[in-house]
Chains A and B, each alone.
Chain A
Amino acid sequence: MGQIVLNQVKKQFGDVVVIPPLDLKIEDGEFVVFVGPSGCGKSTLLRLIAGLEDVSGGSIAIDGNEAADLPPAKRRLAMVFQSYALYPHMSVRKNIAFPLKMAKMDPAEIESRVQNAAKVLNLTDYLDRKPGQLSGGQRQRVAIGRAIVRQPAAFLFDEPLSNLDAALRVGMRLEISELHKRLETTMIYVTHDQVEAMTMADKIVVLNAGNIEQVGSPLELYRTPKNLFVAGFIGSPKMNFIGGEVAASMGASTIGIRPEHLIVSKESGEWEGRVGVAEHLGSDTFIHIHDTGLMDTLTVRVDGEVDLNHGDLVKVSMRPEMVHLFDQNGERI
């Protein structure tokens, strides 16, 4: 079990309110991702749930039991830190066994759980090494091992992949997703990387300045962002925002169109512009177009085969059914 309910949870440091009163319900077994720009309060929110910070108000219920006043260890939560936070003087075996030793578990049971975790995470050959002798990916797996042996009510991940290189990150992302499918335990995952959020989450919580902007499945957020902030944050490259007459003609203050929903051609289109930079990724090409009269730089995502270069004159049009409309407050119409 691992249902977590936040009710009017608030955090302030001195006079600075980091998280204004906030409600959130996380169902048992869900993979929830907190995402937002740095400083949006997502890590603070996770630390409040973990008990590493005290709430300034409100309540946190874990499986129906009030937990806001419990010390971290009593909340039955396990946490994986960005810096791995392994105990450098202990072997991998002792690192993984540490929470069980603290729980005064029977040594035979500890050993069998450690062996199991090591098997799941491919660490069996490294059990007697110290963390300093492992690669970044292996260290992160040890940190995950230390979390899973406790069989917690929920896992908390605080940007666990940001210290890894790009290739490893993709691999670990899959491993964590698979672990979730296998364990079916609640996971709360904090990241600033919206690709991680989109690919891993059952439910994404978009945070901005301590406020929850929107909660929903990855595709809900992509298809129907509630406001300009969510629209701009989810999706890569970023959504194009166009104001002025074009927006007014559609009855909105701002319209948003994703780069993949624009059509570029040399022959026909509603607007004309000049290619500034074409980023060729192989599978796709991102074209940044200037002088369209719509906005400074319009970004378009096209097929990798399209051959356009700096200075080319192109015509652009929108897929009208894919245009998002926002009012003067930035809310979706």
Chain B
Amino acid sequence: MARAVSFNKKLVNTLIVGLIGFLIFFPILWILILAFKTENDAIKAPLEVLFNTGWTLESFTTVQGRSDYFKHFSNSVIISVGSTLLGLLIAVPAAWAMAFVPGKNTRNLLMWMLSTKMLPPVGVLVPIYLIFRDLSLLDTRTGLVIVLTLMNLPIIVWMLYTYFREIPGEILEAARMDGASLKDEVLYVLAPMAIPGMASTVLLNIILAWNEAFWTLNLTSANAAPLTAFIASYSSPEGLFYAKLSAASIMAIAPILIMGWFSQKQLVRGLTFGAVK
């Protein structure tokens, strides 16, 4: 029997949970509010901002006028989608081999790949910067696609490996007994079973690449700068333009938020890493 919980206890719990949720969400909500205020209104006391000021789209038009949002947006799309696809191209065969024909060192190899994620990126900033400079990759989309692919590759391989491992070997053997060639086996049996896992891997990695700020800020200046650089350009040392910064932030996070919202189901499956069957 499930544990009985009294109504009052439920009420209290619900309120506590609601409050924690609200606190976590509050900064985003405040950005959303400030984005629709004028610069003068945005620096007023919070209660005044809420109840005593008007609403305007001024910040959005100013931001778009000052820096080309769509150029940054397309850079973000190219970098995140490009690095994810390139990552898949490398990771699918790798995860495949590790899941279905594991060798003596497969486990060690996987752990080694994961261990690279424990290194702080700044530790390799200088060598990577110098290599990029010598190869003329600084401030290029190609350069960012390469560096983000390398950053996210361990995660892609691990996720795919976990998904492939979930597919029972006996099913592939059954297909072999049923007369399927390697091509048929992949096309009719393995791919349909792996598609949900591949989809969540793709989604998660697009989000990770979209939000990646360390490399995108350090390796770009103007041409290849994605939305992270676009936001950063509004936080200036001379004084913050709250309204414009908020408007820029909203414009930068909105696309990925909307995509995330529509693909929640896939994402949850992806983030639980195959723990729930």
User: Can you list, as one digit per residue, whether each of B161-187 has a CB less than 8 Å from chain A (1) or not (0)?
Assistant: 000000010110111111111001000
User: Can you list, as one digit per residue, whether each of A99-139 has a CB less than 8 Å from chain B (1) or not (0)?
Assistant: 10011000000000000000000000000000000000000
- B192 interface contact, C-beta 8 A: yes
Chain A contacts for B170, CB-based, 8 A:
81-83, 85
Q: Interface residues of A, CB < 8 Å — how many?
A: 22
Instruction: Determine if A102 and B179 form an interchain contact, defined as CB atoms under 8 angstroms apart.
Output: yes
Instruction: Determine if A85 and B192 form an interchain contact, defined as CB atoms under 8 angstroms apart.
Output: no
Alpha-carbon distance A86/B178, docked complex (angstroms): 11
Q: List the 3 closest pairs (A to B, CB-CB), nearest first.
A: A102-B179, A73-B179, A99-B178
Chain A contacts for B192, CB-based, 8 A:
89
Which A residues have a C-beta under 8 Å from some C-beta of B? 50, 52, 71-73, 77-79, 81-83, 85-89, 98-99, 102-103, 146, 150
Chain A contacts for B175, CB-based, 8 A:
87, 98
Chain A contacts for B173, CB-based, 8 A:
52, 72, 79, 81, 85
Instruction: Determine if B179 and A87 form an interchain contact, defined as CB atoms under 8 angstroms apart.
Output: no
Within 8 A of A (CB), among B136-176: 168, 170-171, 173-176
Taking the nearest CB of chain B, how far is it from the CB of A139, in angstroms? Answer: 12
Chain A residue, CB-CB nearest to B170 = A85
Chain B contacts for A89, CB-based, 8 A:
192-193
Instruction: Determine if B174 and A79 form an interchain contact, defined as CB atoms under 8 angstroms apart.
Output: yes
Taking the nearest CB of chain A, how far is it from the CB of B189, in angstroms? Answer: 6
CB < 8 Å neighbour of A146 from B168, B178, B188, B189 = B178
Chain A contacts for B168, CB-based, 8 A:
83, 85
With contact pairs A85-B168, A87-B171, A88-B193 given, residues A71 and B178 touching in the complex (Cβ less than 8 Å)? no
With A73-B181, A146-B174 known, 16 other A-B pairs at CB within 8 A are: A50-B177, A72-B177, A73-B179, A77-B177, A78-B177, A79-B173, A85-B168, A85-B174, A86-B171, A88-B193, A89-B193, A98-B180, A99-B177, A102-B179, A103-B179, A150-B178
With contact pairs A87-B189, A89-B192 given, residues A98 and B176 touching in the complex (Cβ less than 8 Å)? no
Taking the nearest CB of chain B, how far is it from the CB of A52, in angstroms? Answer: 5
Instruction: Determine if A81 and B180 form an interchain contact, defined as CB atoms under 8 angstroms apart.
Output: no
A sample of 14 inter-chain contacts (CB < 8 A) reads A52-B176, A52-B177, A72-B176, A81-B173, A85-B171, A87-B188, A87-B189, A88-B171, A98-B175, A98-B178, A98-B188, A99-B178, A102-B178, A103-B179
Q: Which of A85, A89, A99 has the most CB of B within 10 A?
A: A85
User: Can you list, as one digit per residue, whether each of B184-219 has a CB less than 8 Å from chain A (1) or not (0)?
Assistant: 100011001100000000000000000000000000
Chain B contacts for A50, CB-based, 8 A:
177
Alpha-carbon distance A79/B174, docked complex (angstroms): 7
Chain B residue, CB-CB nearest to A143 = B174
Taking the nearest CB of chain A, how far is it from the CB of B67, in angstroms? Answer: 47
Alpha-carbon distance A98/B181, docked complex (angstroms): 12
Alpha-carbon distance A82/B173, docked complex (angstroms): 12
Chain A residue, CB-CB nearest to B172 = A85
Taking the nearest CB of chain A, how far is it from the CB of B137, in angstroms? Answer: 42
Chain B residue, CB-CB nearest to A87 = B189
Taking the nearest CB of chain B, how far is it from the CB of A127, in angstroms? Answer: 18
With contact pairs A88-B193, A89-B192 given, residues A81 and B174 touching in the complex (Cβ less than 8 Å)? yes
Chain B contacts for A102, CB-based, 8 A:
178-180, 184
Alpha-carbon distance A79/B178, docked complex (angstroms): 8
Chain B residue, CB-CB nearest to A83 = B170
User: Can you list, as one digit per residue, whether each of B72-93 has a CB less than 8 Å from chain A (1) or not (0)?
Assistant: 0000000000000000000000
Chain B contacts for A78, CB-based, 8 A:
177
Chain B residue, CB-CB nearest to A156 = B177
Instruction: Determine if A73 and B178 form an interchain contact, defined as CB atoms under 8 angstroms apart.
Output: yes
Chain A contacts for B180, CB-based, 8 A:
73, 98, 102
Chain B residue, CB-CB nearest to A52 = B173
Chain B residue, CB-CB nearest to A75 = B177
Chain B contacts for A86, CB-based, 8 A:
171, 174
Chain B contacts for A81, CB-based, 8 A:
170, 173-174
Alpha-carbon distance A73/B189, docked complex (angstroms): 16
Chain B residue, CB-CB nearest to A149 = B178
Taking the nearest CB of chain A, how far is it from the CB of B188, in angstroms? Answer: 8
CB < 8 Å neighbour of B177 from A73, A82, A87 = A73
Taking the nearest CB of chain B, how far is it from the CB of A117, in angstroms? Answer: 14
Alpha-carbon distance A292/B178, docked complex (angstroms): 57
Alpha-carbon distance A178/B109, docked complex (angstroms): 51
Chain B contacts for A103, CB-based, 8 A:
179
Instruction: Determine if B193 and A73 form an interchain contact, defined as CB atoms under 8 angstroms apart.
Output: no
Chain A contacts for B176, CB-based, 8 A:
52, 71-73
Instruction: Determine if A79 and B179 form an interchain contact, defined as CB atoms under 8 angstroms apart.
Output: no
Chain B residue, CB-CB nearest to A104 = B179
Q: Which of B168, B170, B184 has the most CB of A within 10 A?
A: B170
